[in-house]
Amino acid sequence: MEQLEEQNLIEECRAGRLEKFGALYDLYADKIYRFIYFRVRHRETAQDLTSQAFFKALEGIRSFNPVKGNFSSWLYRIARNNLIDHWRGQKNHFNIDQLWDLKAENDIAGDAEVKEKIRRVKEVLARLEISQREIIMMKIWDGLSHKEISQILGKSEAGVKMMFSRAMGRLRKVEILTLIVIVLLLNYTT
């Protein structure tokens, strides 16, 4: 879908023609689902949270302000807030840090070498601040730009770039960056 066409759909929805929202849903549903699924690792939960995110977006479309950021970032921010609310509701059962954990080793492969690489990646990522892990996941896994991440997190673009750069520098020091890419690819294909 072309940028101008997307903007027209958004404006029509903001003007009250909510039946046009379906085209926006079709455009972003898979991306938002993957964003959520990677963090919850449960298909039904990811489907529910994705539905909730789009329902909230539909309810709030009139308040969307294109001057403050693009539609994509606005949707990701809604999805991220849903995730945070979900994990807070599960606080008796889960640690919110699990939001950024990688898939369990026994779910990926039986290969001892892969398991060792995954263990090393988890160990290094665990040393990063939660905000750095979040930015790395959004940048590498979700493929978002620094600008989109800054809009989602409500931080400056320069601040996001700095945090990403520092986190990547730390990962390079322990020669783990390649391993992260391998694990992310393994997670994406499973």
- pLDDT tens column, 115-161: 676 677 677 777 788 888 888 888 887 889 999 999 999 999 999 99
Q: Which of 91, 107, 100, 105 is nearest to 126 (CA)?
A: 100
**87: part of which helix (H) or strand (E)?**
helix 71-89
CB 29 within 8 A of CB 47: no
Report domain extents, the chain: 3-89, 101-189
Spacing of C-alpha 60 from chain mean position: 20
Which CATH code, of 2.40.30.200, 1.10.1740.10, 2.60.40.1890, 1.10.599.10, is assigned to 3-89?
Answer: 1.10.1740.10
CATH 1.10.10.10 correct for 101-189: yes
pLDDT of residue 108: 44
Tokens of 19: 């039946």
pTM of model > 0.75: no
